[in-house]
Amino acid sequence: MNFTIRPSAQPDQSQPVVGFIPEFSSKPPLKELEAISPEEFSGKKFTHIILREGKKRILLIGLGDGKKVDDDTFRKASGVAIRQLNKIGVYRAQFVLDGVEQFAQACVEGILQGVYEFTSFKDSKNAKKAKVDEISFLISKDQVASVTKAVHDGQIVGECVNIVRQIGNLPGNYINPPTLADEALKLAKKYKLKATVFDKKKLEAGGFRGILAVGGGSKSEPRLIALEYKGAKNKSAKPLAFVGKAVTFDSGGISIKPWEKMEEMKFDKMGGVAVLGAICAIAALKLPINVVALISSAENLLDAHAYRPGDIITSYDGKTIEVLTTDAEGRIVLADAMAYARQKYEPAAMIDLATLTGACIVALGEYKAGLFGNNEEFIAQVKQASLTSGEPSWHLPIGPEYHDQIKSDVAHVKNVGGRYGGAITAAAFLELWAEKTPWVHLDIAGVAWTTREHVFQGKGATGYGVRLLVDLAKQFA
């Protein structure tokens, strides 16, 4: 997608013009709308109408209540716009941002969000290929410098989000721990990151027995991927640590899942893939901060080497885990990665992302991630990043009563705490491996993918977490 900026230019009548309209009740804001009834179009949120006058075409997108328009409104409205433009089959279009230039970055992100479709396994006749390949932004003359930077940054972030979506949508026979590591190495080279991959031998030598246990039932051996970006002036400054769960397929192991919707378990890698996309975006933006990303990857299958209910696993830092169900595997692979991050890098703060529990989806639906943490200041920073990035979350508690639920008679902890408060007891489990490091856990099980077609984006992986982590890194920087 090519983006150009045209200060105070009159629209080219041969190209469709896209405008954004707040909701109105009586007098329409444009003369072109005077003959249109409110039932046809009144600017309600994410509605649209195409006006034609000869060769001239104007696509108007509703923003809803003008007092409540924010970056996320504009991001999604731009996604609606590009999807409508693709339906009518145009190659170039003009977006009028004169007067709303503050939303330029969100607009670019939304365009890239809306234009993406997963077509890797469709032939060219059936593939839904994007038709728009060039966008011009019409802006006021005094906003050129700020909009140029916003477009640049929005394109970086949007492209990294789509990298995450593309990898996330790939099924388990294409993406497994070794091939995910290969993708990470390619991206590390492109974005100039230091990369270290722990294969099975290195995991055994290092004592990563949690990752090894979860991945023991698959022919695709587990991997721990470490990526480092040093953008701070002080290269030895403590980094911000991202940790991601990347279970490339989760059958549940011996505690096997029901078959219904098991195909969606290819998305159980989305926390790890989001972490990968985020550090790439941070590097491309050249943010002045040190960041380390740990991606803990395994495939949870079942064979004679699979771990079992009743097993006791000793994690990387020596804590022991009693396994009650092999379908609570994400917290086990995260435990090793969090312990390694804590001991190896001594981070200033650590955040993990994981499609961890169905209980979080029951609690919050597909609208918000569950947010947990051990440090109020860091929790506040992540909440702010959640708001500014348009990737919503909801703060849920952790306390001693939830730790009591996961006490084990035979080990330091058991990997589930019963039916009640499942998302919280999972977070309480992870808190043990954060120890005194300021830490936040985001349970993204409900927001990492969607099975519904939205007006602003298609089905599949959403790329949730990339923008949030980038905004968090900007706060730290």
378-413 confidence digits (pLDDT tens): 999 999 999 999 999 999 999 999 999 999 999 999
Which position has the higher pLDDT, 11 or 357?
357
Q: Element (H or E) spanning 175, and its range?
A: none
With 60 as the cut, is the pLDDT of residue 465 above it? Answer: yes
CA dist list (Å): 427 to 67, 88, 98, 472: 37, 47, 46, 20
Per-residue model confidence (pLDDT) at position 83 = 96
How far is it, in rounded angstroms, from Cα 184 to Cα 166?
13
CA angle in degrees (0–180, nearest 5) for 131-137-141 = 165
Q: Is the pLDDT of residue 433 over 70?
A: yes
Task: Give the Cα-Cα-Cα angle 464, 466, 471 (nearest 5 degrees).
Answer: 120
- Residue range 192-241, pLDDT digits in tens: 999 999 999 999 999 999 999 999 999 999 999 999 999 999 999 999 99
Give the rounded percent of residues in the chain with a pLDDT score beyond 70.
98
Q: Average pLDDT, stretch 270-289?
A: 98
Query: Is pLDDT at 128 greater than 60 in this prediction?
Result: no
Among 6, 200, 238, 257, the one annotated catalytic: 257
Mean pLDDT confidence for 360-370: 97
Specify whether 141 is catalytic.
no
pLDDT band at 10 (very low <50, low <70, confident <90, very high): confident
Taking the C-alpha atoms of residue 52 and residue 83, their distance in angstroms, rounded to an integer, is 18
**Domains in the chain, CATH or no CATH each:** 2-143 (3.40.220.10), 160-476 (3.40.630.10)
Identify the CA nearest to 368 among candidates 441, 458, 445: 445
Q: What is the rounded end-to-end Cα distance, in angstroms, of the chain?
A: 29
CA 153 to chain centre: 17
Place of tokens 């952790």: 398
pTM of the model: 0.97
Task: Give me the catalytic one of 75, 83, 331, 467.
Answer: 331
Q: What confidence category does residue 130 fall into, taking pLDDT thresholds of 50, 70 and 90?
A: low
The pLDDT, as a whole number, for residue 41 is 94
Distance, in Å, from the CA atom of 387 to the CA atom of 17, rounded to the nearest integer, reads: 30
Mean pLDDT of the region 57-75 = 97
The pLDDT value recorded for residue 125 is: 62
Task: Measure the CA–CA gap between 161 and 167, rounded to whole angstroms.
Answer: 10
**Cβ-Cβ contacts under 8 Å for 179 (sequence gap 6 or more):** none
How confident is the model over 330-352, as a mean pLDDT? 98
Over 70: is that where the pLDDT of 53 sits? yes
Query: How many helices and strands (H and E) does the chain possess?
Result: 13, 19
Q: Is the pLDDT of residue 295 over 80?
A: yes
Read off the DSSP letter of residue 158: H
Residue 257 annotated as catalytic: yes
Q: What's the whole-number mean pLDDT along residues 255-271?
A: 97
Q: In the predicted model, what is the mean pLDDT of residues 261-285?
A: 98
